A and B are shown apart, each in its own frame.
Chain A
Amino acid sequence: MTNKRRLGTLTELIIEGIIRFCGISAILFVVGIFFFVFREGADFLVQKLDIKQFLTSVEWYPDSPSNKRYGILALMAGTASVTVVSMLIAVPFGLGAAIFISEFCGPKLKETLKIAIEILAAIPSVVLGFIGLMVINPIIISLFDTPIGLNVLNGGIIVALMSVPFIASISEDSLKAVPDSYREAALALGATRWQTVYRVLLPAAKNGLLAAVLLGMGRAIGETMAVLMATGHAVQIPRSLLDPVRTLTATIAAELGEAPVGSDHYQVLFIIGILLFLITFAVNLTADLIVKGIRGK
């Protein structure tokens, strides 16, 4: 009897240990990833990199035969412009879809829409990139009478398509989590459906909606393959929506395969990786602080 109980306690302890490890493992992964990315680039970062030139120059010549220059301002501008454009498109569509699915449509349509959104999320990014290259490119050329359709707008549309499912499904979850008593109370006060959504549900679900938007933004910043194909991959600061750009992620994807391991070029690509890591970290931290701020009120 005591043996059995002891065995039980032991199993309990082991299982508890495993679960504890699983819980903490995320920290290990993040620290580990940061460590390994940092290790690859640290040497160059500490010893040779001219940080001012790195952050303020648009001259990206990592493989120049005579005069290597590592300036990523244009690449950062590319990432920022594609992210902003995609969010301008994806946030209204994503939130709109979530509101429609959760508040305005019947159960049958609801299921169909949810499945459709899931399918949209499941399309591989390379396929969307191909659509940007082959379908949206000529459309943009003929609509805007511009010389080339691979540009910020094209990249923004493609990335928006990828962010919408994230934003829609998480927003929908957080709208669903608002208790029905809120809706009933609003109706009882004589509010219309739209007033209920606008005045009651959106404020109540604010945290979740913000998290959804930021997750979509993370997706937009980190997206690689589709932007590589759809943005034109040109090192320049865009002056309009119709200029081709190159993003930080696409640069890593395009050049890491060639850069000899350990070379300056290779290390600079890892420093760009560190930078991307810091950007996503900052986005998440801001989100946390904002959410906390909202809760505090």
Chain B
Amino acid sequence: MPKIMRFKSPVLLSAIVAFSAHWLQMGCGKKGEEGGAPTKKVSIQNSGSDTMVNLAQAWAEAYAEVDPSVSVEVSGGGSGTGIAALINGTVDIANSSRKLEPGERVRAMQNTGKEPQEYMVGYDALAVYVHKDNPLEAITIEQIGQIYSEGGAITKWSQLGVKNTGCANDDIIRVSRQNNSGTYHYFREAVLGKGHDFKLGSVDMNGSKDVVELVSKTPCAIGYSGMGYATASVKILRIAKKAGEQAVAPSIATTLDHTYPISRPLFMYTLGTPSEHIQKYLNWILSDAGQKIVEESGYVPLPKDGNPESGTPAKE
């Protein structure tokens, strides 16, 4: 029996999750009715992007001190997972490291009757990592494309002009992400170009942190992940838009002045006009206090001079 049931487990798991989410909501409602207003603790369900999960957790923890009556429950799983939950109406705020696709917007409307609202909450510079002993310092977008995309010609470190002594057979091990990751989608669009696919045979990891950890243990590897995940045992490559142009390292300054070529905005989505306590939470995230946490978590805060679009829900 167990072997027959086993491959059903993801479905089973989601059923359990869905069921417990439902039960939790019911539980909360009941408590409100019986206990009256003063002791009621409001909970905000927040899930999605793996890139943003640490940031979202840091926000949630800091906000618990700002407003003790609200508890924010954060979970990861990938942008796709968060957006799927938003479409199903099982989450209050979905974190996403990519923009909602038009099709997803339509499905959310059909399913819940509410239009998703978009909040830009910060930026992430996508860093390209190699092992710390790798002599490579800089790379161009085109070279990364040749490494990662279907039909790309670069498979050896020597083709990039370096002798990677830690890597005996000179093969480049491509570390990539699962296809539910917003990082994966963004990287495909920004580096490989629209309509291009990844070369098969890359080692696909579950999370941003896993990518950096694997690269730190694998001298032949190259990988991409948010720059907030850097550790002492990996090296971040400087990236040039084209051969001959200056290569730039990811930082807050280079992200905001757009000289670093692969950075992207981070979003939070709600369904329809958010309720009062969710709106208060989002306002706090966009305030100086919330944006300071963005910087502390290794991401890029929204520009101080006030981008008029960033605070208000943008419509397609």
- Contacting residues, chain A, for B179 (C-beta < 8 A): 62-63, 254-255, 258
A235/B194 in contact, CB under 8 A: no
A228/B220 in contact, CB under 8 A: no
> In whole angstroms, how far apart are the Cα atoms of A60 and B200 in the complex?
8
> In whole angstroms, how far apart are the Cα atoms of A232 and B223 in the complex?
13
- Contacting residues, chain B, for A26 (C-beta < 8 A): 1
> In whole angstroms, how far apart are the Cα atoms of A280 and B3 in the complex?
7
Which of B57-65, B76-84, B251-259, B266-274 faces chain A? B76-84
A234/B202 in contact, CB under 8 A: yes
Partner of B220, one of A147, A221, A253: A147
- Contacting residues, chain B, for A246 (C-beta < 8 A): 204
- Contacting residues, chain A, for B210 (C-beta < 8 A): 133
A253/B10 in contact, CB under 8 A: yes
**Chain A positions 86 through 111: 1 when the CB is less than 8 Å from some CB of chain B, otherwise 0:** 00000000000000000000000000
Partner of B173, one of A148, A215, A229, A235: A148
Q: Does B195 contact A (CB under 8 A)?
A: yes
Q: Does A208 contact B (CB under 8 A)?
A: no
Total contacts A to B, CB within 8 angstroms? 133
* Nearest Cβ on chain B to A251's Cβ, whole angstroms: 10
Which of A7-15, A16-24, A137-145, A188-196 faces chain B? A137-145
Partner of B204, one of A63, A234, A248: A234
* Nearest Cβ on chain B to A221's Cβ, whole angstroms: 7
* Nearest Cβ on chain A to B192's Cβ, whole angstroms: 10
Q: Does A240 contact B (CB under 8 A)?
A: no
A147/B204 in contact, CB under 8 A: no
Partner of B8, one of A37, A62, A137, A219: A37
Q: Does B2 contact A (CB under 8 A)?
A: yes
> Is chain B's interface secondary structure helix, strand, loop, or mixed overall?
mixed
Task: Select from chain B the residue with minimum beta-carbon distance to A62.
Answer: B179
Q: A141-B218, A215-B3 are in contact. Are A257 and B77 (CB under 8 A)?
A: yes
> In whole angstroms, how far apart are the Cα atoms of A145 and B168 in the complex?
8
Q: Does A2 contact B (CB under 8 A)?
A: no
**Chain B positions 218 through 235: 1 when the CB is less than 8 Å from some CB of chain A, otherwise 0:** 111100000000000000
Q: A150-B214, A273-B7 are in contact. Are A59 and B200 (CB under 8 A)?
A: yes
- Contacting residues, chain A, for B4 (C-beta < 8 A): 30, 33, 218, 222, 277, 280
Task: Select from chain A the residue with minimum beta-carbon distance to B174.
Answer: A234
- Contacting residues, chain A, for B241 (C-beta < 8 A): none
Partner of B81, one of A62, A64, A219, A258: A258
Residues 242 to 281 of chain B near chain A (Cβ within 8 Å): none
> In whole angstroms, how far apart are the Cα atoms of A280 and B5 in the complex?
10
> In whole angstroms, how far apart are the Cα atoms of A258 and B181 in the complex?
9
Q: Which of A64, A147, A219 has the most CB of B within 10 A?
A: A147
Partner of A74, one of B169, B173, B200: B200
B11/A255 in contact, CB under 8 A: no
Task: Select from chain A the residue with minimum beta-carbon distance to B150.
Answer: A61
B9/A147 in contact, CB under 8 A: no
A148/B218 in contact, CB under 8 A: yes
Residues 58 to 80 of chain A near chain B (Cβ within 8 Å): 58-67, 74
Partner of B171, one of A30, A147, A224, A260: A147
> In whole angstroms, how far apart are the Cα atoms of A253 and B221 in the complex?
25
* Nearest Cβ on chain A to B223's Cβ, whole angstroms: 12
- Contacting residues, chain B, for A233 (C-beta < 8 A): 178, 203-205
Q: Does B167 contact A (CB under 8 A)?
A: yes
Other A-B contacts than A147-B168, A233-B205, A257-B81, 15 sampled, CB-CB below 8 A, are: A65-B195, A147-B167, A147-B219, A150-B203, A218-B2, A219-B3, A219-B6, A222-B4, A224-B9, A233-B178, A235-B200, A244-B203, A254-B179, A256-B14, A273-B7
* Residues of B in contact with A (beta carbons under 8 Å apart): 1-11, 14, 77-78, 80-81, 84, 87, 104, 107, 167-169, 171, 173, 178-180, 188, 194-197, 200-206, 210, 213-214, 217-221
Q: Which 8 A-B pairs have the closest CB atoms?
A: A258-B180, A218-B3, A258-B80, A222-B6, A147-B220, A236-B201, A66-B195, A233-B204
Cβ contacts A to B, 21 pairs, < 8 Å = A65-B195, A137-B217, A141-B217, A148-B214, A148-B218, A148-B221, A219-B2, A222-B3, A223-B6, A233-B205, A235-B201, A244-B203, A248-B7, A252-B7, A252-B10, A253-B9, A254-B178, A255-B179, A258-B78, A276-B7, A280-B4
